[in-house]
Structure 1
Amino acid sequence: MSGPWAQAINRTAQLLRDNTAKIIRMEGITPNTAPRTLFSFRTPEELKQYVVGSDTDLGGNSTARLDHHPDGYGRFWGEMRLDVKAGLEGKLRPGYAGFRNKSRPTLFGQIYDDLSLYKYLALRVRAAGDPPTRNSYFVNIQTDGPVQTDLWQHRLYFEKEGEWEDIFIPISDFVLTNQGDLVQRQVKMMSEKIRTIGVSILGGKSGTQGRYELGIQSIRALNEEPESATDVAST
């Protein structure tokens, strides 16, 4: 058996195994707040759980790919462009590309990530591509909120030039946006029901175009204070 139905059954079995393990460990009584890897990009199989998109879906010309590098990481890359297809000038906002994890349905409903007991989202990343594009990346979180177009966003700041680094983002610092615009009336994130996490490059916001590339190994949730790693709260 293959396809979406088989995937849903596999996720259901994994959910049952995880919940059984939690009961055995009595996590319902003592919550587990140990560092947790949410998503990994180290193998071709792991990359199948992500979906990629760009402004080409609406008539733009930016390109986007997420593929596996032999050294064991994901490579998100393409060309950021601010022009649009003929006849669409002034009718849309071009200049974006991104990826996120796919929705994870089971026989009992969706799988969500509960980050309510964590302080930081940590990304192991490396910025490459044309230098102007490196300041246009954002981390995006979608919750199980009532408005499906809502996204919680935070800019991804880099300190190292072309080197791997761990970037720590306080979860409380994410801001609510809708279709790329800041929502004036901010509300608390529903961090106990995280549907998707992803990264986007928004050249349209900064007027930036060119060749972009982001290496990514993992997305984690943790509580310890970052020391040598980059804490964007102090940037």
Structure 2
Amino acid sequence: MFSLIRRTAVEVAESSLKALNMDGLRGWQKEMPMAALKTEKDLSQWVVGCDKDIGGFSTASLEITPEGVGKFYGEISLELPANREIKQSGYAAMRTKPKDQTMFGTPCWDTSLFRYLTLHVKGDKRKYFVNIQTDGVVKTDLFQHRLFLRTPGQWETVMIPFKDFILTNNGMIQEDQIEMFRQKVKTVGISLMDRQEGPFEIQVEWIKSMNTEFTEGDMDRIPPKEEVKETY
């Protein structure tokens, strides 16, 4: 109970500070850091799972490399467990932990003022997905998008428009698509379920919400006109 009160007090203090700084009136912002994987402390804010959790044979691990970035790696197995209720195997995933609850609920990221979810990653040629969980009614709902890597084996910054994410549930695209509740993003993560056996590895340094110089959320910013200097 005391920890809940303390977390609530911290949340109130942070909200008050934002109000004093008039964060809600600042308008355009270039970026909002959401998650990082650079230190052991960062590592504690993530969870990892794979089909081994339900009796499968895939493996998945997350660690900080000597270079100071996160490495998500393991091996995918399509072998089915003895449990006949399990019809499909072969997946691995990592995601941020939800923030601790306060008396006002679970603190979330408000991404509504940004157009892109942006990741700085170095991956292989496997087909990864980026996952977003919002603080919605159906806890198993995920908004997903392919993580297209143009240069496997090299670091790259991937920018995905929030509006391009698709609503899924238990890996299935939902017929009734709804708009993402971008004011209440609860977790972000990466998953692999390409139905290909073998090793995988992807390194992640950070995940942010971002605008370009010409975007403000889903609105386009009109660059200021250059002043015309008349000569006489």
If the length of structure 2 is used for normalisation, what is the TM-score?
0.84
> In structure 1, which of residues 28, 33, 41 is the aligned counterpart of residue 37 of structure 2?
41
Change (3 A) 1:9 1:208: farther
> In structure 2, which of residues 144, 160, 166 is the aligned counterpart of residue 153 of structure 1?
144
Length, aligned pairs only: 213
- Please say if 1:197 is aligned against 2:188: yes
Q: What is the identity, as a one-letter code, of the residue corresponding to 2:70?
A: G
Q: What is the identity, as a one-letter code, of the residue corresponding to 2:93?
A: G
Identity of aligned residues (%): 38
Match of 1:212 in 2: 200
Match of 2:230 in 1: none
Match of 1:177 in 2: 168
Q: What is the identity, as a one-letter code, of the residue corresponding to 1:224?
A: T
Match of 2:102 in 1: 107
> In structure 2, which of residues 52, 61, 65 is the aligned counterpart of residue 65 of structure 1?
61
Larger Rg: 2
CA RMSD of aligned residues (A): 2.1
Tell me, yes or no, if the aligned pair for 2:60 and 2:74 is still in contact at 8 Å. yes
Q: Deviations over 1:51-85 (max 9, x none)?
A: 11111122211111111111111010000111122
Displaced runs of 4 or more, over 6 A = none
Q: What is the identity, as a one-letter code, of the residue corresponding to 2:78?
A: L
- Please say if 1:75 is aligned against 2:63: no
Residue 141 (structure 1) shift: 0.5
Residue 223 (structure 1) shift: 1.0
Change (3 A) 1:48 1:179: same
- Please say if 1:93 is aligned against 2:88: yes
3-state SS in 1 of match to 2:179: coil
If the length of structure 1 is used for normalisation, what is the TM-score?
0.83
Match of 2:229 in 1: none
* Structure 1 residue runs without a partner (length 5+): 129-133, 227-235
